[in-house]
Amino acid sequence: MTGATAARGGGAEPAGGPTGEKDHGIHLLQQMLRIRRFEERCAELYSHSLIRGFLHLDIGEEACAVGVIDTLSPDDAVVATYREHGHALARGISMRAAMAELEGKVEGCSRGRGGSMHLFDAATRFYGGNAIVGGGLPIAVGLALADHLQGRRVVTACFFGDGAVAEGEFHESMNLAALWHLPVLFCCENNLYAMGTALDRSESETDLSLKAASYRVPSWEVDGMDVLAVEDAARSAVETVRAGGGPHFLELRTYRFRAHSMYDPDRYRDKAEIEQWKQRDPIPLLAERLTASGVLTDGDLERIEGEVGAEVDDAVAFAEAGTYEATEDLERFVTSEPVRAGEAS
Amino acid sequence: MTTDDPIHTLSEAVNQAMDIAMAEDPDVFALGEDIEDPIGGVMKGTKGLSTKYGRERVRNTPISEQAIVGAAIGASLVGMRPIAEVMLMDFFAVAMDQVANHAAKLRYMSGGRTNVPITIRTSVGGGRQFGAQHSQSLEAWMMHIPGLKVAVPSTPHDAKGLLYSCIFDDDPCIFMETMSLLFTRGPVPPGRFGIPLGVADVKRAGDDVTVVTWGWQVPEALAAAETLADEGISVEVVDLRTLVPLDRDAILRSVAKTTRAVVVHAATQFAGPGAEIASLVGHELFGRLSAPVERLGAAYSPVPYAAELESLHYPERKRIAATIRAMA
């Protein structure tokens, strides 16, 4: 065990010690704040019906996306879930393209066809939000298989929640990735609830890293509220995976501060439990550490908040100035060549 | 058909298409259960390919249909052209999340920002007493999911050309290999050729009644047409070859001429592909038909094991002939 991370299953211990570099610490803080403020604005826009459908907020879990994705190179790939705004922003999808997508505009990263759960951007190798629990795991295995077959030394980071562990696709994917020794970093964001069902009512074995280890996949339990711990574990795992070490598994222990989705009245969790986790909010946690170590000084936080706020305002303005797709394009993009209307339907 | 082309089975034709595709494009690879030699696929479709191209490119998988199809999808997102084998079409039920929710939708959900160029080969049972879970013709299920293309060859020639086209198509293609036709023989041109997806083939020209069909039922319809020719009834057999894209023009051209149509398929008749085609014909040729469009599909039951029952389950040449006789 090193710090907030426990290893299991034969993997090398991740290198301990936070990176002390000033710019880097501030960068992590800024990334988490970008996600937080973006999503807070999303909730507001949802209440004004500018964002519709399902909206799953990542608030409270930002350290997972930021800590892992920060360790990836531009050639690496990311597969995410329906709670993926944070991952998309951390990966480099612009806030403008993400917000326009949420508002269903052509300028969105998925042309308004996807919405909140289907942000997609091949240019940043972000292969999608995905609204099927567990559905992204086999696809991540395939991306890694292609990288293996084509001789690229890159990593596919695949994010999913604790709920996905109950799906068959989790088990098929862990087995196949391990069997074929593929470069996948499985990142399980364990927020203790599969939608509204607590982990111990959803899993006969609540130790999720043990499940991964049973497939001979080296596994680590990581404090998912501590972005530096996440980053340390991820960096070490990514290096090992990239070097040909086969798939690895990070169980990121985290918590969502908001309900599962905007439709969820959140009646299954104790208010006290939520409050207790909020004491470990990853953003103040990092800010306090950076302040204590002298990295974050007077005015820094206000400056960052100002920059982030301006970026969010700009993204909202961009989205609201965006255009809706022409209705005659309803059946575009179903297949590669436009099939004549009525021909195949 | 007169041709100097070499004679092969449909299974050999499938094998040739994959062999040629793998030889010309290193991004083509195959994955599935028992596809490596010495088995070479339970239906022998991949026989010899792992020996020729190695087990990296022709790889056995665990019995994990979701992972097979999902891995194919993932690899296709970066431009590879995987050929996944789902051993029997019934097993699509296990893989359907990846087929319906991912392969079929990724292009659309991303606003056209990715292709999903996978081919899923699958064997379709029926007529061999394989029972309810090894015999289903599920093409209607595939047709009902926008984004999938569906090919069902009836001859070795078509199998080779259609599979080659599927492999190099940029969309997910379901390639159905009818088991009862896999070892039937026919001429197959050597070398590389593709048959465009969405182009039907008139397998027999005729004037009185059009049979619209595909796959297994094509030789049954041709046999019925032969019988009826002796009775003075001229039957045209339109082999759709692909159900998506659907060659509406070929169907309407033929029925406009004959004014009578019967749609025949091994899929369940209720809510089957025949309903769509009958609706198309009825709508487009309303007032020009000499008889209501007839449909002959599988009975509304799981496929029975008992031979006496199974032979009644699917349409076959005698029932096709009787139906045509009654409407001609």
Name the residue ranges covered by the structural domains of chain B: 7-187, 201-327
Residue in A with minimal Cα distance to B105: A334
Residue A9 has pLDDT above 60, yes or no: no
Facing residue for B62 by CB, picked from A135, A147, A175: A175
Does A168 reach chain B within 8 Å, measured CB to CB? Answer: yes
- A138: closest CA of chain B, how far (Å): 4
Residue A84 has pLDDT above 70, yes or no: yes
Q: How far apart are CA A286 and CA A292, in angstroms?
A: 10
- The single residue of B102, B134, B157, B313 carrying the catalytic annotation is B134
Tokens of B122: 């699958």
Q: How far apart are CA B307 and CA A98, in angstroms?
A: 58
Report pLDDT for A338. 54
Facing residue for B113 by CB, picked from A120, A145, A173: A120
Q: How far apart are CA B259 and CA B207, in angstroms?
A: 9
B82 interaction partners in chain A (CB closer than 8 Å)? 142
Q: How far apart are CA B70 and CA A300, in angstroms?
A: 45
Which architecture characterizes domain A22-196+204-319 according to CATH?
A: 3-Layer(aba) Sandwich (3.40)
B134 in active site: yes
Look at the pTM and tell me if it is higher than 0.80: yes
Is residue B43 within 8 Å of B182, Cβ to Cβ?
yes
- A131: closest CA of chain B, how far (Å): 9
Name residues 127-166 of chain A within 8 A of B (Cβ). 127-128, 130-132, 135, 137-147, 149-150, 156
Q: Which of B109, B142, B174 to mutate to test the interface with A (most CBs of A within 10 A)?
A: B109
Q: Where are the alpha helices (DSSP H) in chain A?
A: 22-47, 62-69, 85-91, 95-102, 136-149, 168-179, 199-202, 208-213, 227-240, 271-278, 282-292, 300-320
Q: Say if the Cβ atoms of A137 and B70 lie within 8 Å.
A: yes
> pLDDT (tens digit, 0 to 9) for every residue of chain B, 328 residues total?
557 999 999 999 999 999 999 999 999 999 999 999 999 999 999 999 999 999 999 999 999 999 999 999 999 999 999 999 999 999 999 999 999 999 999 999 999 999 999 999 999 989 999 999 999 999 999 999 999 999 999 999 999 999 999 999 999 999 999 999 999 999 999 999 999 999 999 999 999 999 999 999 999 999 999 999 999 999 999 999 999 999 999 999 999 999 999 999 999 999 999 999 999 999 999 999 999 999 999 999 999 999 999 999 999 999 999 999 999 8
Does A118 reach chain B within 8 Å, measured CB to CB? Answer: yes
Residue A81 has pLDDT above 70, yes or no: yes
CA distances from B208 to A7, B237, B260, B290, B305 (A): 76, 11, 7, 10, 36
CB pairs under 8 A between A and B: 160
Does A175 reach chain B within 8 Å, measured CB to CB? Answer: yes
B69 interaction partners in chain A (CB closer than 8 Å)? 138
ipTM: 0.95
Which architecture characterizes domain B7-187 according to CATH?
A: 3-Layer(aba) Sandwich (3.40)
Find the mean pLDDT for residues A77-97: 98
Q: Say if the Cβ atoms of A150 and B61 lie within 8 Å.
A: no
Q: How far apart are CA A83 and CA B12, in angstroms?
A: 47
Find the mean pLDDT for residues A129-143: 97
Q: How far apart are CA A42 and CA A19, in angstroms?
A: 32
Report pLDDT for A130. 95
Q: How far apart are CA A319 and CA B227, in angstroms?
A: 67
Is residue A247 within 8 Å of A182, Cβ to Cβ?
yes
Name residues 63-102 of chain A within 8 A of B (Cβ). 77, 79
Contacts of A192 (CB under 8 A, 6+ apart): A162, A198, A199, A255
Which architecture characterizes domain B201-327 according to CATH?
A: 3-Layer(aba) Sandwich (3.40)
Give pLDDT tens digits for A22-35. 789 999 999 999 99
Residue in B with minimal Cα distance to A329: B111
Report pLDDT for A14. 39
Is residue A67 within 8 Å of A237, Cβ to Cβ?
no
Query: Same CATH fold, B201-327 and B7-187?
Result: yes
Is residue A215 within 8 Å of A278, Cβ to Cβ?
no
Residue A10 has pLDDT above 90, yes or no: no
Is residue A51 within 8 Å of A103, Cβ to Cβ?
yes
Rg of the Cα trace of chain B? 19
Give pLDDT tens digits for A275-320. 999 999 999 999 999 999 999 998 999 999 999 999 999 999 999 9
Q: Say if the Cβ atoms of B248 and A342 lie within 8 Å.
A: yes
Report pLDDT for A19. 46
Residue A15 has pLDDT above 50, yes or no: no
Facing residue for B108 by CB, picked from A121, A142, A333: A333
Report pLDDT for A37. 98
